[in-house]
Amino acid sequence: MNHNSDQDLKMIAETARDFAEKNIRPHIMEWDEAQIFPIDLFHQLGEMGFMGILVPEVYGGAGLGYQEYVSVLDEISQVDPSIGLSVAAHNSLCTNHILEFGNEEQKKKWLPQLASGKVIGAWGLTEHNTGSDSGGMSTTAVKDGDEWVITGAKNFITHAISGDIAVVMTRTGEKGAKNNSTAFVLEKGMPGFSSGKKENKLGMRASETAELIFDQVRVPDSHRLGEVGSGFKQAMKILDGGRISIAALSLGIARGAYKAALKYSKERNQFGQAIAKFQAISFMLADMATEIDAAELLIRRAADLKNNHQKVTREGAMAKLYASEACVRISNNALQIFGGYGYTKDFPAEKYYRDSKLCTIGEGTSEIQRLVIGRDITQ
């Protein structure tokens, strides 16, 4: 699969790379240390078309496909994975959920705002006591006339504080029952809709993570996405695409860490030669390069299936599982190559190392990916 022959794809990747070098790289550690979510940057990303990559042009988006999406996330995440994570969450979760399951009126209302980057999107599924057990969530929506009253809370939500629009999964039936979940679009400013404290995280610190709180929020029925009871099926389909996002994010982290380690290994001299010449280091670099290529091939396969509207559950899970675990290994080896300097914040290895671990947890842990793959291959 030679994807590099596509000149449009290369041009989009170069555009994302140039933007990241100019607008993101100078601020990486400032944003990381202070946990700054640079909201103005996301408005700029919207102007570039990177906040509505998958949204058709008729709704104000870039009208591109998953291969372009993978390339943009890869390039941005090589520079700062935190920004890549937020771009991924905005595009593949909130925005894509409305694109996939909204009616025409809903798409026209919300997609142009999201695609422009003027409005930041959030997506609420995870709760304090459920995690991967989304079927047992406690956030409820009760019908009251032409409105729904939503009560509960979501945690570990990207853009919970700064987001303007949130797609939220609620329970509209008995806990644990099939078809018991319904999705709604909530807008900041609705009475009772608020945010909790920002999480103080190990990595991905410039990507905002916090609680969403619903205190008897009254939501018009016109904000309901799809049929009552279809929310869980919708969420699972959205997560199929989201796994490609996290895999692409993982690829960017791995590639960024590898490039930094390769450059350092050629510059660092010990015993009269560059450390890259030592077999121990060259073997580590060889493994890193091989795993990056393997991860990209899995991701590109999943993206191709998604572009062709084919089932991608197993392939997306495989790409996410392998790429996320590979990026942790690669970031660990990169830090090792830097040695003592790798443990300091003056060099890039420690941040790639901290940022990498989320990829094995977010949008389904590695254990959940294995569960998804196992069920698919044994059914």
* Catalytic-residue membership of 363: yes
Q: Which of 75, 127, 350, 363 is catalytic?
A: 363
Q: Calculate the alpha carbon distances from 268 to 258, 282, 339, 343, 353 in Å.
A: 15, 13, 11, 16, 20
Q: What is the DSSP letter of 205?
A: T
Greatest CA separation found in the chain? 79
Q: CA 25 to CA 66: how far, in whole Å?
A: 25
Q: What are phi and psi of 157, to 5 degrees?
A: -100, 120
- Is the CB of residue 111 less than 8 Å from the CB of residue 59? yes
The answer to whether the Cα torsion of 362, 365, 366, 372 is positive or negative is negative
Q: CA 270 to CA 197: how far, in whole Å?
A: 47
Q: CA 281 to CA 284: how far, in whole Å?
A: 5
Q: What would the DSSP string read from start to end of 319-369?
A: HHHHHHHHHHHHHHHHHHHHGGGGGSTTSTHHHHHHHHGGGGTTTS-HHHH
Q: How many C-alpha atoms does 153 have within 13 Å on its Cβ side?
A: 11
**Beta-carbon neighbour count of residue 89 at 10 Å?**
28
- Tokens at residue 94, please? 């909130």
**Beta-carbon neighbour count of residue 167 at 10 Å?**
28
For 292-321, letters b (16+ CB in 10 Å) and e give beebbebbbbbbbbbbeeeebbbbbbbbbb
Which amino acids are annotated catalytic?
Answer: 363
